[in-house]
């Protein structure tokens, strides 16, 4: 999703299922990201488009934005989120 939305280069870390034991809907992948970034969940924005990912994101305690597909993942979405 990040590459097709041309956002890949904006991320400091990217974690795949090969780096965790419990895939979504388990929140492990997000908790691992928070830990690696040294951030609290409430300091993180999570953009998800699939039910298991949305469930995982919500269970992690992060700030979750649900999208329908990659067409919804744009710089203007992040500008809108960050202007709040």
pLDDT for residue 78 = 85
CA distances from 30 to 1, 76, 80 (A): 17, 23, 22
Residue 48: CB atoms within 10 A of its CB come to 20
Min mean pLDDT across 47-56, 61-70, 72-81 is at 72-81
Residue 81, pLDDT score: 86
Q: Give 4's DSSP letter.
A: T
Write out pLDDT tens, residues 35-46.
999 999 999 999
Q: What's the pLDDT score for residue 70?
A: 81
Q: Which two tokens stand for residue 34?
A: 């928070």
What pLDDT is recorded for position 82? 85
Residue in 30, 82, 73 with CA at minimum distance from that of residue 55: 30
Output the CA–CA distances (angstroms, integers) from residue 40 to 5, 25, 49, 61, in the order listed. Answer: 26, 20, 22, 9
- pLDDT bucket at 12, cuts 50 / 70 / 90: confident
State pTM to two decimals.
0.82
């Amino acid at each position: 999703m990040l590459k097709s939305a041309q956002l890949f280069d904006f991320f400091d870390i990217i974690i795949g299922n090969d780096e965790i034991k419990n895939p979504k809907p388990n929140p492990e992948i997000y908790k691992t990201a928070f830990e690696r970034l040294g951030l609290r969940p409430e300091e993180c924005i999570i953009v998800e488009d699939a039910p298991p990912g949305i469930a995982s994101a919500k269970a992690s305690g992060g700030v979750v934005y649900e999208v329908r597909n990659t067409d919804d993942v744009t710089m203007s979405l992040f500008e809108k989120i960050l202007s709040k």
